[in-house]
Structure 1
Amino acid sequence: MSITLALLLSLQAAPAAVPPEQAAPPESAPAGDQVTVDGEREPSGRLGPAQQGGGDIVVTARRRAETVQNVPIAMSVIGGTALAETGAYNVGRLTQLQPSLQFYSTNPRNSAANIRGLGAPFGLTNDGIEQGVGIYVDQVYYARIASATFDFTDTERLEVLRGPQGTLYGKNTTAGAINVTTRKPSFTPEARVEMTGGNLDFFQGKFSLSGALVEDVVAARLSGSITTRRGTIYNVTTDKWVNSQDNIGLRGQMLFQAAPNLDITLYADYNRQDPECCAQIFARVGTTQRPINRQYEALAAAFGYEPPSRNAFDRITDLDSPLRAKQELGGASALVNWDLGPATLTSVTAWRFWNWLPSNDRDFIGLPITTVSANPSQQRQFSQELRLGSNGKNDVDYTVGAFFFHQTIDTQGLQVQGAAASRFLLNPGNLVVPGAAGCIPATANACNPAILDGLTSRNTIGFKNTSAAAFGKLAWHVTDRLEIAPGLRVNYDKKTGDYVSVVTTGAGSTTLNSDQRGVLAPQVYTPDFDDWNISGDITVSYDFSPDIHYYASYAKSYKSGGINLSGLPLDANNNPILTSATVKPESVNAFELGLKTQLLDRRVTFNIAGFWTEIEDYQATVTNGQLGVLRGYLANAGKVRTRGVEIDSAFRPFDGLNIYANAAFTDAKYVRFVDAPCPPELSGGTAASATNPASPAGQAGTATAPSFSPANCDVSGQRLPGISKWAFSYGAEYNIPTRIAGYDGQIYFGYDGSYRSDFSSNPSESIYTNVSGYSLSNFRVGFRADDQLNIFAWLRNAFDQDYYDLLATQSGNTGLIVGQPADPRTYGVTLSKSF
C-alpha cells in the first residue's frame, strides 16, 4: 500500500524523538494521581503527538476510563507537556500534529475545523448552521469554533476523536470531536510556571496554582496565560506590523469533595484577544471572463495604483481600512459526579459568552473600494447535560443521557463602499478606458464615484438556536473478547432568525438605483427551521489478544439544518430569493474499519483505520455571481463522499529513542453538485444562453467580443475544498539520562515534521486558488527533570518554508487573488518549572 511505503520512508528520515509521555488519569481517579507506564510511575500530561510504544494511556472518550488502545474509535491523544514542546498552544496549531484535522481561519470568527474533510462548509462563517466538529473543554460544548481559539492553559490532555460521536456526546457531532481536559485541583499544594521568549517579539507566560482550602474537602486551582507577538506583515499605510497576537486568559476551578461518592467542580474562565489582525494580501492575478478593461490590472492602472509588492512572502501590504480582531470569551460551569454504586450520575451545567468586535479590509488593497466591513457580534449559550453511566465492567455497560442547549446571537453588520467602488464594481459596458482620460462618457455610473461612494449597509441580525436530545450507548460484552455496542440518539433542533438590512446612499437617502441595489440590496426576512431526527450507530469490536484489537462501525447521523444569516442571493430584479433562507439537514452514513495493535513487548504501536462517509444534502457555501456578495450564502449540494485511510504509529526501538509517524489519505469529492457557483475563470462575463454558450475559462471579453459566463457550474466529481489528499506528521526524540544542577533528568533532542499535499481554496475548484503542498520541520533541544523542570530551545518552520494558509478572491470577479501567508521561521526558548 502506497501510504505504508510513505510512512516507512518518513520513519527512516526522522533524526530525533518524541518522549514516551502518558495522558492524565481517568476523571474518576483522585486529583493529582499519576498513571502507570510499563510498571513505572511517571508524571501525567507527557503524551507526545502519537500514542507512544509502551504503556496504557487512559482516556475518557466513551465517557468512562479506558486505555486508548481498547477504545474502538479512531482517536489521537496529546498531553499538555507535548502541546507546549511542539508549540501547539491553540486549536489552529494542532494541524501540524494531526493529519486528519484541518483548521482554516481568516480571523477568529471566520474559522473552521474539519476532520476527514467534514465539519463546516469552506468559506466565510455563517452563524445559522452547526459545526460538524464538536469542541469540548472540561465536558462543556463550545458552540462556535471562534470561541475555542483561546490559548491552551493548564491543559492535561487533548483527545481528537474522528467520525460521528452523537450517541456519546451531548451535542450531535457528525465529523468528530476535540476534547480538551484541563488539570484538576489538587489537595497537595503545587505551582507551575512557564515562560517563553522568541523572535518577532514573541512572549508567552503561563502559571497555575493549586492546593487545599479545606483539607480533604475543598481544593482550588487558578491558572492564567499571556501571549504577545509582533505581526508578520508590514502595512506601509499605517506604518504598523499586522497579524499580531495579543491574548490573555484566566481560569479558576474549585473542587468540593462533598462526600466520598460525590464531588462537585466549579469552573470559571475569561479570555481576551485584541490583535491588529487579520490581513489577506496581494498574491497573484488571474484572468476572469469580465471585459478586459474591467479586469484588475486595467482597473488598478486607471487609478495609477500598484501594490507595494506582488510577492506575498515579502509580507508587505497597504491596506487602508483599520484591522481589528478583538474578542472576549468566557463562562462558568459546574460538573457534578455522584457515584451511586452500580452507576455514576454526571451533570454538566454551563453558561458561556463570546463578544466579537472586528474590522476588516474586504477589498484587500490600498484603494477605497470597501472602506468598512465589520460584523460585531454578541453570543450567549446555556447548556445542561445529564448522563448515567455504569461503573466497572459488566456483561452490559451503558451510558445514557439527555442534553439541552440554547444559544442567542446578536450581530450589527456594517459595510461601507468607497470612492473607488463604482469603477471596480459597476458595469459600464464597453465605455471604460484606463488612463488619465478616465471614462467615456463621464456620465456613466461606473465613471461616477458618487454613485457608490458612501453607500452603506447596516444589518441587524438576530438568531436563536434551541436543541434538545436524548442519547445512549450500550456495550454488550458477548464474550471476554467480543463486544457489540449499539447507540441511539433522538434530536430536536429549532432555529429562528431575523435579518434587516437598511441601505443608504452617500447622501443618506434610502432611494436606490439599480446599480446601487445590485451592490448592496435592502433585505428583510425572518427565516425559521425546526426538525426532529433519529440517528444511531453500532460498533463490533474483537480482541484477538490483549494487544491486538479490531473494530468495525456504522453510523447514521444528521447535521442539523440551518438558516442563512449573511443575506440572501438576489433575483434578476435585485430582490432577495426567500426560498434560500433555510438549508436542509445533512444526512450522514459513515462506515469504519480499524485495527489497533501493540507489538514487540509494546515497543511498537501501530493503528490503522479505513473510513467511507457519504453525505446527502451537504451544506455548502455558494454565491450567485453578484458583485456585492462578500460573504456568500448556504445551499444544499446534492451529495458528497469522503473516504480514506489513517495510520497512527509509534516506535521505541530502545530506551531513550521514540519515533512517531502518522498519516492520512483523504479522498473527498462532490458526488453530485450540478448548480454550484462557478470558479473565477468562468465568472464575470455576460450571462450565457442557448444562442451564446459559455466562453472558454479565463477568456476575457473585449469591446467587440464579450465573454459569456454560465449561471452556475456542475462540479460533480471535483474535490471538496480545504482538504489535502495526503497528510503526514512524523518525528522523533532521543534523550540521554543525566544530572544537571542537582536535578536528575534527561537531555533531549527532538524533531517534529509535517507534510500536506495541495488543496483547493475555493468552494468550486479554481486554477487560481489552489494552495500548493508544503512540508514543515521543527526542532527542539533541552533538559527536563521529570515534571519539575523543563528548559528547551526551539526552532519552528526551520527551513523558512513559504506557504499559504489559504487563498481567496476579491469580490466582483476582478481576477485579484489574495492570500494569507503562514508564519515564517520562528525560534525561541521555553522554561517551565513546577513547585
Structure 2
Amino acid sequence: MLLAAQASAPTPPAQTTPPVVVGAPERPTTTPGEPDRTEEDVQRSSASADVVVTARRRTEQAQNVPIAISVVGVKELDNTGSFNVARLQQLQPTLQFYSTNPRNSSVNIRGLGAPLGLTNDGIEQGVGVYIDQVYLSRVAAATLDFLDVQQIETLRGPQGTLYGKNTVAGAISITSKPPSFDFEGRAEVTVGNLEFKQAKASISGPLTDQIAIRLGLSSTSRRGTVFNVASGNYVNEQDNIGLRSAILWKPTADLSLTLSGDYSRQNPECCAQTFVRVGATQRPLNRQFDALAAAQNYEPPSRNAFDRLTDLDADLNAKNELGGLSLRGEYALGDGTLTSVTAWRFWKWLPANDRDFTGLPITTLSQNPTRQDQYTQEFRYAGEGRGFDYVLGLFGFYQDIHTTGTQRQGSAASRWLINPSSALANDPSVLDGLTASNDIRLKNFSGAAFAKVNWNVTDTITLSPGARLNYDDKVGSYVSIVRDAAGNLVPATGGTARQAAQRDAIQPQAFRDEAFREWNATYDLTASYKPSRDVLLYGTYAHTFKSGGLNLNGVPVVNGVVQTQLAQIDPEKVDHFEIGLKSQFWDRRVTLNLTGFWTQIRDYQAVVNNQSTSTLRGYLANAGKVRVRGVEADFSIRPSDRVTLYANGAFNDARYLDFPNAPCPPELSGGGTPTAANPSIGAPGQPGTNSPIVCDISGQWLPGISKFAFSYGGEYNLPATVLGNPGEAYVGVDANSRTKFSSNASRSIYTDIDGYTLANVRAGFRTDSGVNVFGWVRNAFDTRYYEVLATTPGNTGLIAGNVGDPRTYGVTLGASF
C-alpha cells in the first residue's frame, strides 16, 4: 500500500496473488529500457521478483521501487501462524512488538516508534498502522486478528509525503481482499494443543453486473498459558472474534466505490505477569520485596517464571472492542486517478488489572476504561505527465478520547507502602479503600497537505522530491480525585500525617484544557539509479517530525502545586539518511537487497525526571538526542520449482546520544535524597543509601532492540497425488533469532533479556484445486524466553515479566474455490 517491497518467506509464483487496485488506471509493469518479460521468465523467477506494489500510484514490481519494505502474503501468514501483529514480528527482523495488554502495546521499526512500556493518550505513535488505507491512531486498536487479508506491507523509514498521517519510523499497511465479480470463497479450520481453535472463512461474488460483495469472519480461542492458583483459572488466554464486509459498486469503467465495515472483539481473562526475580534496590532493606513479603507471611507460588504460575487476587480482564466504517472512491480523471477515503473508527477498552503483581491485597482495583472515536478524510490525485508522475493530497484527522480510570488500595497496602518505622504502617485502615478516580480527555485534530513527484531525468536516473505541511491541535485534561475509604477528599497539600501518607500512595492532581498547537513542515528527496534491468541503487534524505503532545498520565506535584508547565511535549525533530541496493541475478531466481540507514532524533519523547521539580516521579517530556543506525539484508533464492529459501537480517545500533535527566534503573532507585550534609550516592543495589534524582544514560541502548536479528527458512515440495487429487507434498521451516536487548527505559542489570531462537515447522499436502492440509509445530524446541520484563511500582525490587508461548502444535485444514 505504501512504497516498495521485499518478500519475506517467499511462496511459489503460482500461489502469489498480486494486490488489486480497483478503479486505478492501467500502468506499465516495466521500467524504461526494460524488455517485456515472457511467461517463461515469470515461471523461472523467484516469488520476490513478482511482488507487485502500487506505492507510486501505478502497478510496478517491488524491485523497481527505491524504498525498503517487507511484504507478507496470505500464504506466508497462514503457513507461519502469523494471525496478528505480535506474530508478524517473527518474520521481520526490524519490526518489534511489545505488549503487556492491548492498551499497553507498542510497535517499533528499527527501534523507533513509541518508548517501550509507555502508554499515553497525549502523544502520537511513530509507526503508522493502516487497514485498507485507513490510519489507526493507537496501536491498541491494531491488536486485532488479521481478517481476510491479502497482504501486509511493513515500510521502514519516515513517511508522510505520499499520503495519510506523518510517521517517523515507518508503517504497517494491511490490505484486505477486495470484493470480486467472480464467485469465490475460502475456509480454514485449525485445532491444536492448549485447546487452540481457530476458524476463518470468506466469500465473495457479484450481486449485479455493477455490484460485488465480500463477507469474512474469524474466531480464535485458546486456553491461557499461565495458571492462577488464586482463582483456579488459566489466564492470558485468547478469545477473539472478527467480522468484515465490503461492497463494491462499479457503475462505469472509470469509477468505483467501496463501502467497508468491520468489528473485532477480544475478551480474554488477561493479562498476568509472573514473578521473575528480586533485584536489590537502594531502599532500606526492610522496605524491599523479600522483607515486606515475609512481614505478611507471603511467598509467591513459584520463583521460577517458567512454572507459569501466578496468584493474582484482583480481577483480570482485557476486553477490547474495535471497528468502523470506510468509504473509498476511485475515479479515473484525465491522466490520473482521484481517490477519496472517508472513515470512522472506534475503540472501546474495558480492562481490569492487578498492578501490585502479587497475591496480596495491595492494589485491589486498577483499570483505565477508554472510549475513542476517530474520523479521517483523505483526498489524493495521482497523475502522470511527460517524463514524470506525481501525487497530490490532503489529509484530515480528528480523534476524541475519554478515559475514566480507577485505582483502589487494599488491606495490605499500609504495611507494603508506608515506611515500617511509622506507626501508620501497622494500621491497615490508613490506605485500605483509598481510591483515585481519574478522568482523562483529549480532542486531537491534525490536517496536512502533501505532494510527491517522480521525475525521470533519464531512462536510468529518477529524482523524487516530496513535501508536507502539517498542523496539529490537541486539547486535553487530566483530573485525579483521591478519597479515603469513608469518601473524604485527600487534599493536594497539608492535612494530617494520615493524609500525607495517603497522598504519598496516590497523588491527587488536576489540570484542564491544556493545549498544544503547532505547524510543521516535512520534506524528503530520493535519487535512484537503475544501470540494468535487475539492479537498482538509491539514496534518501528525509527531514521530518513526530508531533508534539500533552502529558496525560499526570505531571509532578511540588508542595501541592501541579507543574502544568510540564504538560506539553515538543515535537521530535528527525533527520534520516538511507542508501539501498536492490538486485536480482541467476535469471531472477536470486534476490539480494541491502539497506543502510542513519536516523537522528532531537527532542526525543520519553519518560524523564527533572531535578528542578524536586521529585522522583517520572513524567513524559523531551529527552535530548537519540541515534539509530544499521544495515539490513534480505535474501531469497529459488533454485528450482521444488525449493525456496530465504534469510533476512538486521544490524541495529540504537542509542541515547544525550539523555542526562533519565529515570534511574531499579538498582539506583528507592534510597534517600542526597543533601548537603550527606551528598554521597550509594553503590547500585546497596540498601539504605542515597539514590540519584536523575541518571545520565547517554550512550546506553534504546530499549527493546537487539543489535542483531534474523529470520530465515524455506520450503521443499514434491508432486504428489492423494486420493486421486493431484498436488504437492511439502515441508517448511521458519525461524527467527535475536540477540540480547534491554527491557527497561533506563537499562538495568535486572531487566536485560537474553537472546533466543524460535523455530516453526510445518508439513502437509495442497492440491491444485485449493485444498491445503498441514500439521505444524511452533516454538518447536520449546525455547524459554521473555517477551517483556518490567519493574513493578514502589522500588521494592520485584521484577515481573511476560513469558513467551511454550511449544504449540496442531493441524490446519483449508479450502478455497
TM-score range, shorter chain: over 0.9
Q: From 408, 412, 416, give the equivalent of 2:400.
A: 408
TM-score scaled to structure 1, two decimals? 0.92
For residue 672 of structure 2, what is the aligned residue in structure 1? 686
Amino acid at match of 1:202: F
For residue 313 of structure 1, what is the aligned residue in structure 2? 306
- The CA deviation at 1:38 is 7.2
CA deviation profile, 1:497-531 (whole Å, cap 9, x unmatched): 11111100112110452221122121110221010
Determine if contact 2:19/2:150 at 8 Å carries over to the other structure: no
- The CA deviation at 1:754 is 0.3
Determine if contact 2:324/2:344 at 8 Å carries over to the other structure: yes
CA deviation profile, 1:811-833 (whole Å, cap 9, x unmatched): 01000000000110000011110
Cα 1:807–1:545 change in 2 (3 A) is same
- The CA deviation at 1:369 is 1.0
For residue 172 of structure 2, what is the aligned residue in structure 1? 178
User: Hey, what's the Cα distance between the residues in 2 that align with 1:550 and 1:624?
Assistant: 46
For residue 482 of structure 1, what is the aligned residue in structure 2? 461
Q: From 819, 824, 827, give the equivalent of 2:809.
A: 827
- The CA deviation at 1:288 is 0.1
User: Hey, what's the Cα distance between the residues in 1 that align with 2:24 and 2:188?
Assistant: 25
CA deviation profile, 1:703-747 (whole Å, cap 9, x unmatched): xxx300010000000011111111000001001122223332211
- The CA deviation at 1:621 is 2.6
Determine if contact 2:99/2:105 at 8 Å carries over to the other structure: yes
1:628-647 → structure 2 map (5 Å cutoff): 633-647=619-633
User: Hey, what's the Cα distance between the residues in 2 that align with 1:544 and 1:42?
Assistant: 21
Q: From 345, 360, 366, give the equivalent of 2:353.
A: 360
1:241-252 → structure 2 map (5 Å cutoff): 241-252=234-245
Matched-pair identity in %: 57
CA RMSD of aligned residues (A): 2.3
Cα 1:307–1:567 change in 2 (3 A) is same
For residue 202 of structure 2, what is the aligned residue in structure 1? 208
Q: Does 1:27 align with 2:6?
A: no
User: Hey, what's the Cα distance between the residues in 1 that align with 2:117 and 2:556?
Assistant: 16
1:687 counterpart SS class: coil
Cα 1:294–1:464 change in 2 (3 A) is same
2:624 counterpart SS class: strand
User: Hey, what's the Cα distance between the residues in 1 that align with 2:40 and 2:368?
Assistant: 54
User: Hey, what's the Cα distance between the residues in 1 that align with 2:677 and 2:618?
Assistant: 29
Q: Does 1:66 align with 2:60?
A: yes
1:570-581 → structure 2 map (5 Å cutoff): 570-571=557-558, 573-581=559-567
- The CA deviation at 1:66 is 1.9
User: Hey, what's the Cα distance between the residues in 2 that align with 1:17 and 1:60?
Assistant: 19
1:375-774 → structure 2 map (5 Å cutoff): 375-391=368-384, 394-428=386-420, 431=421, 444-512=423-491, 513-526=499-512, 527-571=514-558, 573-622=559-608, 633-701=619-687, 706-774=688-756
Determine if contact 1:26/1:60 at 8 Å carries over to the other structure: no
CA deviation profile, 1:290-328 (whole Å, cap 9, x unmatched): 001111000000001000000010000000011100011
1:709 counterpart SS class: coil
Amino acid at match of 2:488: S
1:316-327 → structure 2 map (5 Å cutoff): 316-327=309-320
User: Hey, what's the Cα distance between the residues in 1 that align with 2:42 and 2:216?
Assistant: 23
1:28-67 → structure 2 map (5 Å cutoff): 28=22, 39=39, 52=46, 55-67=49-61
- The CA deviation at 1:540 is 0.1
User: Hey, what's the Cα distance between the residues in 2 that align with 1:410 and 1:182?
Assistant: 30
2:429 counterpart SS class: helix
Cα 1:52–1:176 change in 2 (3 A) is farther
Amino acid at match of 2:791: T
Structure 1: segments with no counterpart, 5+ residues: 1-15, 44-50, 432-442
CA deviation profile, 1:427-449 (whole Å, cap 9, x unmatched): 24xx3xxxxxxxxxxx6122222
User: Hey, what's the Cα distance between the residues in 2 that align with 1:553 and 1:337?
Assistant: 30
For residue 129 of structure 1, what is the aligned residue in structure 2? 123
Amino acid at match of 2:696: D
Q: From 309, 324, 347, give the equivalent of 2:340.
A: 347
For residue 5 of structure 1, what is the aligned residue in structure 2? none
For residue 5 of structure 2, what is the aligned residue in structure 1? none
For residue 217 of structure 2, what is the aligned residue in structure 1? 224
User: Hey, what's the Cα distance between the residues in 1 that align with 2:118 and 2:627?
Assistant: 22
User: Hey, what's the Cα distance between the residues in 1 that align with 2:175 and 2:441?
Assistant: 32
Amino acid at match of 2:169: A
Cα 1:781–1:585 change in 2 (3 A) is same
2:603 counterpart SS class: strand
For residue 82 of structure 1, what is the aligned residue in structure 2? 76
Q: How many residues align?
A: 790
CA deviation profile, 1:215-267 (whole Å, cap 9, x unmatched): 2x000000000000000000000000000000000000000002110000110
CA deviation profile, 1:351-408 (whole Å, cap 9, x unmatched): 00010000001011101111111000000000000000015x8411000100000000
Which structure has more relative contact order (CA 8 Å, sep 6+)? It is 1
- The CA deviation at 1:37 is 9.5
2:789 counterpart SS class: strand
CA deviation profile, 1:659-678 (whole Å, cap 9, x unmatched): 00000111000000000000
CA deviation profile, 1:677-703 (whole Å, cap 9, x unmatched): 0000000000123543343443433xx
For residue 436 of structure 1, what is the aligned residue in structure 2? none
Determine if contact 1:330/1:353 at 8 Å carries over to the other structure: yes
- The CA deviation at 1:450 is 1.4
Determine if contact 2:388/2:454 at 8 Å carries over to the other structure: yes
Cα 1:630–1:797 change in 2 (3 A) is farther
1:214 counterpart SS class: coil
1:282-301 → structure 2 map (5 Å cutoff): 282-301=275-294
Which deviates more, 271-280 or 55-64?
55-64
User: Hey, what's the Cα distance between the residues in 2 that align with 1:649 and 1:75?
Assistant: 13
TM-score scaled to structure 2, two decimals? 0.94
For residue 494 of structure 2, what is the aligned residue in structure 1? none
- The CA deviation at 1:112 is 0.5
User: Hey, what's the Cα distance between the residues in 1 that align with 2:106 and 2:616?
Assistant: 18
Determine if contact 1:124/1:632 at 8 Å carries over to the other structure: no
User: Hey, what's the Cα distance between the residues in 2 that align with 1:155 and 1:631?
Assistant: 44
User: Hey, what's the Cα distance between the residues in 2 that align with 1:834 and 1:749?
Assistant: 21
Q: Does 1:332 align with 2:325?
A: yes
- The CA deviation at 1:41 is 12
Amino acid at match of 2:538: Y
- The CA deviation at 1:103 is 0.3
User: Hey, what's the Cα distance between the residues in 2 that align with 1:306 and 1:291?
Assistant: 20
- The CA deviation at 1:52 is 4.6
Which deviates more, 779-788 or 798-807?
779-788
CA deviation profile, 1:442-470 (whole Å, cap 9, x unmatched): x6122222111111000011110000000
CA deviation profile, 1:150-192 (whole Å, cap 9, x unmatched): 1111111111110011101210011001111011111111111
CA deviation profile, 1:107-140 (whole Å, cap 9, x unmatched): 0011000001000112131011001100011000
- The CA deviation at 1:597 is 0.3
User: Hey, what's the Cα distance between the residues in 2 that align with 1:503 and 1:302?
Assistant: 28
Amino acid at match of 1:533: N
For residue 239 of structure 1, what is the aligned residue in structure 2? 232
